[in-house]
Chain A
């Protein structure tokens, strides 16, 4: 069965410092992995995805994520945090050749950047 875990409910970082939001997954076969961001009372916005190839994926707003197959992880990173990065972040996974419905979202991590 597919699953995705975001082990931290909240991450607090000072502005200008690097940030990491953790995600681990479980899926049969090769995964497709996604990160989304949600601002208060808004829908989710797509940040980046891993399909195949280079393990380091670059996305919107300076975010990047590293796919690590051996650790089944897809952590979201940014070298220098901004206050405007404060939001709720969701990791999602879908197995190769799975149906369109079989995307599983994590429970979300709230990122708080202090000035």
Chain B
């Protein structure tokens, strides 16, 4: 999974709890992304960041928050406001610049389950 690590691999959350998913990359990539994967729905973009200290909402940002204090790190917090958080979460990054032809590099994912 090419220099991107995600932890934990599995995470269980109780109702009303906030949890934070870690994403770290050592590829010197500027852009980082968070996706949610549900069966049969492909990947949906939650948040993305093109540079340190800046991030933008994706298509399904409600109930999630992020920070980008370091180039290498882009943690995702799933808040209690997210009504259906059970899913597989994928972090990705792409090479310097925002050229449209750059492919994304993905981490191994975190599977979040609400108990």
Contact = CB atoms under 8 A, between A and B. Distances in A.
A20 to B, nearest CB: 19
Interface string B29-57: 00101000000111101001010000010
Contact of A46 (B42, B105, B109, B111): B105
Contacts of B31: 100
A36 B1 CA distance: 12
A101 B1 contact: no
Nearest to B9: A41
Contacts of A98: 100
* Chain B CB within 10 Å, residue with most, of A41, A95, A106: A41
6 contacts: A43-B108, A44-B92, A45-B1, A96-B100, A101-B48, A102-B100
Given A100-B94, A106-B42, A107-B41, A41 B56 contact: no
A107 B39 CA distance: 9
Contact of A51 (B4, B90, B101): B101
B104 interface: yes
* Chain B CB within 10 Å, residue with most, of A43, A49, A90, A102: A43
Interface of A: 9, 32, 34, 36, 41-46, 49, 51, 90, 94-103, 105-108
A102 B103 CA distance: 12
A90 B104 CA distance: 13
Nearest to A51: B101
Contacts of B4: 43
A29 to B, nearest CB: 10
Given A9-B40, A108-B40, 8 more contacts: A43-B109, A44-B104, A45-B1, A45-B106, A90-B43, A101-B45, A101-B48, A107-B42
Contacts of B94: 100
B58 interface: yes
Given A41-B109, A100-B48, A100-B50, A105 B42 contact: yes
Nearest to B43: A105
B40 A94 contact: no
Interface in B1-16: 1, 4, 6
A114 to B, nearest CB: 22
